Amino acid sequence: MNDKNGASFRTDRKEKAQAVVRELVTEFLNTEANRTSLVTVTGSRMTKDLKHVTILLSVMPTEQEEQVLHFARRKRSEVKEFLKSKLPTARIPFVEFEIDQGEKNRQRIEELANE
């Protein structure tokens, strides 16, 4: 296998792992989060070694962002246990949560365009 194919394999593996983790975290948050705000997983970023993943969140209303972020971070160990129960791998990535600033900017541009 040459480098190009090896790099492609690693990229495919990373993208698949990232998608599965993103879906599972979405499932976890949908069952655990309160219903005072709408929390959407808008994306994820995973390191090449698959050891860390950052889950990007969009929160409506935006006034709830900090509260949701604190909630998600407090639940990190439960998220890890949930991932352990669902993933067929021994290594579970460390999960971090961030507000998706790109999504916030897109929504703001849309608001301005509609005015």
- Please, which pLDDT band fits residue 107 given cuts at 50, 70 and 90? low
Q: What is the pLDDT of residues 2-24, one digit of tens each?
A: 455 556 666 688 888 899 999 99
Q: Mean pLDDT across the chain, nearest whole number? A: 86
User: By residue range, what is the domain housing residue 81?
Assistant: 3-114
Give me the CATH number covering residue 9.
3.30.300.20
**What is the count of structural domains for the chain?**
1
Q: What is the pLDDT of residues 37-58, one digit of tens each?
A: 889 999 999 999 999 999 999 9
Strand segments (E) across 10-93: 38-46, 52-60
pTM attached to this predicted model: 0.80
Structure tokens at 14: 């990373």
- Report the percent of the chain where pLDDT is more than 70: 86
